[in-house]
Amino acid sequence: MELRQLRYFIEVAKREHVSEAAQQIHVAQSAISRQIGNLEDELGVQLFEKDGRNVKLTPVGKLFLEHAETALKAIDYAKMQIDEYLNPEKGTIKIGFPTSLASHFMPTVISAFKERNANVSFQLRQGSYKFLIDAVKNREINIAFLGPVPAEDADIETHILFSERISALLPSQHPLAKNKSIRLNDLRDEEFVLFPEGMILHQIAIDACKQAGFTPNTSSEGEDLDAIKGLVAAGMGVTLLPESTFDVKPPRFTVKIPIEFPIVRRTVGVIVPKKRELAPSEKAFYAFIKDFFYRLEQYQ
């Protein structure tokens, strides 16, 4: 069994079309067909079956795909670590992060690290809360920032960097817009603009409102922070967002107001794998961010 056979197999499985896979990886279609045939002969099973002009995985093909992807991720990771040990100052750090940390948190952390490590590069992957946890477990990335920090389990190590309050964002013409603070119960009759169900900031808002004694009436949903803020600015409703999602001032036509009761907070932190070693540049970055936020907390 050869690595190229696994790579060809995964590409065809992903595209369900041999010629499209051949075009993507710049290899002759006949070469891909031959290598997959050799792989099937070696395994003694059929991995694909015809589906019109396309192909699709057989049940055993689906099983093999899962293991083939895991094997290639492990090999690619091993190669990356070897490259970094040969030249630790020029590593590439893959980081996952959610949309709520994109505008201020990530640029601050990366620029601060790059000041001391100019030759280290980054590959950034934005994703949902569950996706980022699974990505660390499945070797797709080794470091992910999350808020709130998940419960530690057998596969991931967690570290809390800081805790932040959740505030209300209101249209600037809202009757409560001039208040210095509000009780969350003051918004019980309002229409809310929230992230879709299944996203962690949706759940944080729902839980906060239930803590205040009501279930929010969700009138609109936005897939990202800009959409949420834009809908609030347009007067479509109110929302709840973490402090780190705001710049120096809230968006135009909106007002950010602290919630005095109940106090709603979330933790923000980082997760790394427990059962595999970080590459040298990843170790350096992990140590840096822990020290960076420790010093920031001491200063504050």
DSSP characters over 233-265: HTTS-BEEEEGGG--SSPPTTEEEE-EEES--E
The predicted-structure confidence for 207-242, as pLDDT tens digits, reads as follows 999 999 999 999 999 988 999 999 999 999 999 999
Phi, psi of 262 (to 5 degrees): -75, 155
DSSP state of 238: B
> What is the predicted pLDDT for the residue at 89?
63
- What is the identity of the amino acid at 26? H
> What is the predicted pLDDT for the residue at 186?
96
Q: Which domains does the chain have, with CATH numbers?
A: 3-83 (1.10.10.10), 89-300 (3.40.190.290)
Instruction: Give Cα 21 to chain centroid, integer Å.
Output: 27
> What is the predicted pLDDT for the residue at 238?
97
Query: Cα angle at 125 between 223 and 195, to 5 degrees?
Result: 15
Cβ-based neighbours of 2, under 8 Å, separated by 6 or more = 35
The predicted-structure confidence for 130-172, as pLDDT tens digits, reads as follows 999 999 998 889 999 999 999 878 899 999 999 999 999 999 9
Whether the predicted model's global pTM rises above the 0.95 cut: no
Residues of the chain short of pLDDT 50, as ranges, are none
Rounded Cα gap, residues 182 and 174, in angstroms? 12
Are the beta carbons of 78 and 12 closer than 8 angstroms? no
> What is the predicted pLDDT for the residue at 51?
84
Kindly give the interhelix angle for 18-25 and 29-43, rounded to the nearest 10 degrees.
110
